[in-house]
Structure 1
């Protein structure tokens, strides 16, 4: 099958067709627009970038198709006269030709287009027989079909049935393009319907068809001789250039449909660390919003977390997670990390502020950026809706520890000479709950990495970034399944098992999935 996939070299590789339901022949293809790419050429050819009359042998394909097509359609099924073969537009910069013809120029593509036409005007229709619908499979291609009516004073029911179909192989590309395609196809249809309505109202005013039909029904022979059984789109719209206009519209759809999406290679679902920067954008003269993407090859620190909290040069600091694990001890560290990972609030109370900031810098390495919201040096208590890591001085009143709040108190050493040594401070964790019998899988994996002395800090950091990305993707998938299939816990359980997660991971996945929205 020669139908191309997705998007290549700045053009949406799809076949856009106008179809109609003929009273004589049934569903028929009227008009097809395709894109043809310039084949790759050896770089030794000096004139390879010179403009051509067409690219991708578009006209040769047309001539070959004409020699094999000997059918004689009726007037309603005809979009081109015998002396007019089609419309051709060239994108010399992209080396692409856009060709519009009566039928697709490639036999296998033409077969798929006809199948899509038949389905769009028979079984695959939206309620009310007007509107967009998606159908397809891997064999016959993926199709977006938009069915609509055009008024016709001489048709049964005073209207004729049409559809615009977009056929391609890439299902996900087509569905991602759905809002763009539907919006612009609706615009095309609205203009066609407006033109047809003007012709219909003029004909009804000049020669009311209802009276003629009633007169014919009661005549001696009961035959209708004044009306044509089929009328072309040119007659229905009163515009002899309607197909040239459709060629321009379909060509623009193929070109713009690809330019609006930018391909990026990612492993897994997109994370907040790899999103487009929607805050730094500007409006162009054409009314478009210019959005710039963040650098793909930024340092891991920039991708993984926000800027570090500032610490004083003379202040004692906790250097990294290993240092924090050593000072707190295994159980207090696990309690602190667990509360942060499942969305509970951590209140760090004490002095100096630089030591609190260094602890916060260590903690943020445990969760994605979207799950970390800190407020340090606060002069009052802030609830978890405002921050999940709060740093305050000893005199600030804070709630008593509860199942949702863990407090880490930092007590200064008795000897003032030891104030610059973080190891000499006393660290006391108080929590109104206790660790579950089974901790989240990710937390245990991170603890194992921290205790592995053969893993240096740099390698451990990259390891944590990869782990967080993996589990953030799992959290997003689980949240989508729960949103799409509410009340189906067995589906979520099966999904968790398939992705290597367990019941003890639900709290972490729920918090991470919610925070990533």
Structure 2
């Protein structure tokens, strides 16, 4: 089966393009429980809070991953891919390059022998703690194949599913973000202990996680479930070349 990946990436103020989460499927046709995709309790020194993946109550076995099964097929979401780390690094750098990336929900598609076929949809969230008062993200669908015709057929056959799925996820994140902003602003109106000058000046730019921006501690669990459903739909209707 041609590897299919669904990723959430972020352009971090401190670290540049970073993968926040990647969802993959375990080996199909083998006796596999997805262990080959799990990552150890890795050092987070190369991540700041804005680009760090958080699952609620990360398990105590030293593995920071989320795994679920559909029809006995394992789906795993991790901070990075132990077997496609370099590939995802190349993809995120290309996705966030200034000459190609947009953040208005328009799809971007690119292919080469190094990165395979990729569909990228970018979006921004307002954050006064970020450089330029905004944080930039993208959802990325990757077909890891050098066969351009085959990879393109997978994307074209599932174009509506992919666009609608990414749009649904982005709309949910933006809605939660707007609700969080509205709640924060409404809470500050008329509060004698919060200076309007302080609110305007907000001097220190600090790293803010997507969970905090949306006020949803289950966000990455939802993304894992969405991604698993999408990949399962793809592999159920696609065949290897």
TM-score category, normalised to shorter length: 0.7 to 0.9
Higher helix share: 1
Residue 70 of structure 1 corresponds to 43
1:86 aligns with 2:74: no
Q: 2:32 aligns with which of 56, 61, 69?
A: 56
Question: Could you report, residue by residue, the CA deviation over 1:291-337 in whole angstroms, capped at 9, with x for unpaired residues?
Answer: xxxxxxxxxxxxxxxxxxxxxxxxxxxxxxxxxxxxxxxxxxxxxxx
Whole-Å separation in 1 of the counterparts to 2:105 and 2:223: 20
Evaluate the alpha carbon distance shift between residue 204 and residue 23 of structure 1 in structure 2; reply closer, same or farther with a 3 A threshold: farther
Q: Residues 241 and 230 of structure 1: is their aligned pair in 2 closer, same or farther, counting only changes over 3 Å?
A: same
Q: CA deviation at 1:174?
A: 2.1
Partner residue in 2 for 1:34: 24
Which whole-Å CA distance do the structure 1 matches of 2:238 and 2:117 have between them? 21
The structural deviation recorded for 1:38 is 4.1
1:194 aligns with 2:180: no
Paired residues for 1:136-155 under 5 Å: 136-155=111-130
CA contact 1:152–1:200 (8 Å) conserved in 2: no
Whether the 8 Å contact between 1:181 and 1:257 is mirrored in structure 2 is: no
Secondary structure of 2:97's match?
A: coil
- The match for 2:138 is 163
Structure with greater strand percent: 2
How much does 1:146 deviate? 0.7
**Contact persistence 1:124–1:133 (CA under 8 A):** no
1:393-472 pair list within 5 angstroms = none
Bigger Rg, which one: 1
TM-score (norm 2): 0.80
Equivalent pairs counted in the alignment come to 224
RMSD: 2.8
Partner Cα distance (1:30, 1:254) in 2: 18
Q: How many Å separate the matches in 2 of 1:249 and 1:188?
A: 8
1:32 shift after superposition = 0.8
Counterparts of 2:135 and 2:182, CA distance in 1: 15
CA-CA distance at 1:263 after TM superposition? 5.7
Show the counterpart of 2:6: 16
Structure-1 residue corresponding to 2:192: none
Which consecutive residues of structure 2, in runs of 5 or more, have no partner in the other structure? 146-150, 190-194
Cα offset, 1:121, TM superposition: 1.6
